[in-house]
Amino acid sequence: MTVLLVGSPEPSLAAELSRREPLSSYPLPDSPAVTVILSCGGPVDADLIAGLPNLEAIVNFGAGVDAIDLAAARARGIAVSNTPDVLTDTVADTAVGLLIDTMRGLSAADRYVRAGHWPVRGPLRYARDVSGSRVGILGLGRIGSAIATRLAAFDCTIAYHNRRPVPGSPYRYAAAPADLAGSVDVLVVATAGGPETARLVDRAVLEALGPQGFLVNIARGGVVDEDALVELLTNGGLAGAGLDVFAHEPQVPAALLALDNVVLLPHVGSNTARARTAMARLALRNLDEWLAHRRLLTPVA
């Protein structure tokens, strides 16, 4: 079986590949020879899938599979795997750090000191407490649940919205995203990306969150109506936002760069050596299992 590498492997995956076989063993081969794709962020769309008549499996480096056309893969009976669990804690840590930074204005305070404003302008305006706040989590999956567990230690009141209630969850369920947003101080977006969740956080949801509400997004930029988000942040319709993801990465709306109530990160939710190495090893274990036994350890449902 011949493996096609799609995208550029980041250092953790490149290091794992170099210890096993040279990267040159994964060239772009003739289309009929390809039976497995190792996807490293590059799009695996319907056209690519259609052009590989003998493709059997797509092994994805990463938990999110929104860059893969799952419907096209499903129609052909092509198996798909991802790397869940190994990055759950790291992304949840990022979400909580981003939430604290956004509500307390820590990055803005750092800029204030560095710019020399403190001796001249005096103390900063009051920020908002994280402890005791009402937090809504959009997407109570692995990562959303890990975020909730961390925020419970801050004595936060947790509510959530999924397509359906999570059996046994101790948290309040909201029937719709707008219902959730209207009942919390901060909305954390932790749902999967892709067509099914595109602009799930639309203008109505953001307006329900309101001028005292904060948005934190560590999911995918396309889940949020970015134009509406920028407008509301600019005109006072939201208190602030912490964003690790954007609709057109790596492009960030210019209007956001000038706002002190917005914290901007370059999609670093799982960007630690431990998490990325674990992702690389799990992706290659999936690849090995398929090459040897035609099975995947972590298949995408």
What is the CATH number for 79? 3.40.50.720
Burial of 62 (0-12, 13-18, 19+ CB in 10 A): buried
Q: Are residues 177 and 282 in the same domain?
A: no
Q: Are residues 50 and 174 in the same domain?
A: no
Per-residue pLDDT tens listing for the chain (301 residues)? 688 888 888 888 888 888 776 543 344 556 788 899 999 988 999 999 999 999 999 999 999 999 999 999 999 999 999 999 999 999 999 999 999 999 999 999 999 999 999 999 999 999 999 999 999 999 999 999 999 999 999 999 999 999 999 999 999 999 999 999 999 999 999 999 988 899 999 999 999 999 999 999 999 999 999 999 999 999 999 999 999 999 999 999 999 999 999 999 999 999 999 999 999 999 999 999 999 999 999 999 8
In this structure, how many other beta carbons lie within 10 angstroms of the beta carbon of residue 118? 13
Residue 79: domain span: 2-85+272-293
Q: Are residues 206 and 124 in the same domain?
A: yes
The DSSP code for 41 is B
Q: What is the DSSP string of 170-232?
A: -SEE-SSHHHHHTT-SEEEE----SGGGTTSB-HHHHHHH-TT-EEEE-S-GGGB-HHHHHHH
Q: Are residues 47 and 191 in the same domain?
A: no
Give per-residue burial for 14-34: e unless 16+ CB within 10 Å, then b: eebbeeeeeeeebeeeeeeeb
Q: Are residues 197 and 288 in the same domain?
A: no
Q: Is the dihedral of CA 61, 219, 234, 214 positive or negative?
A: negative
Predicted pLDDT of residue 194: 87
Alpha carbon 86 to its chain centroid, in Å, reads 14
Q: Are residues 94 and 175 in the same domain?
A: yes
The number of C-alpha atoms within 13 Å of 232 and in the hemisphere containing its C-beta is 26
Indicate which residues carry an active-site annotation. 220, 249, 267
Q: Are residues 81 and 94 in the same domain?
A: no
Number of domains observed in the structure of the chain: 2
Q: Are residues 193 and 69 in the same domain?
A: no
Q: Are residues 71 and 103 in the same domain?
A: no
The pTM is what? 0.92
